Structure 1
Amino acid sequence: MPEDVAYLALALNRSVPLATLDRKLAAAARKEEVSVPGPFAHGD
């Protein structure tokens, strides 16, 4: 979804973690070395 890109871009720009329950968004964030707290923190 387009808003997912915006959330990831904001986290990258602000150097903050990205909290999400979306597996694909969490995977994309980890790929960009953005911290993902919560159940998908380690790609589970």
Structure 2
Amino acid sequence: MRGLPLNGNLLAVGARFVRETKTAPVYRLWSINDVHPAMLRVTS
């Protein structure tokens, strides 16, 4: 979320960046209306 428009919402409730990481291959990242990020687990 760092660098994205909604990151401020996380910071406002006390969230902090801990580290960069990678997702497992069974997850796909999506963008909803180019505004909201989403992550879904897929089976194929």
Using the size of structure 2 for normalisation, the TM-score is 0.28
Using the size of structure 1 for normalisation, the TM-score is 0.28
Q: Hey, which of these two has a bigger chunk of helix by percent?
A: 1
Higher relative contact order (CA 8 A, sep 6+): 1
Please say which structure displays the higher CA radius of gyration: 2
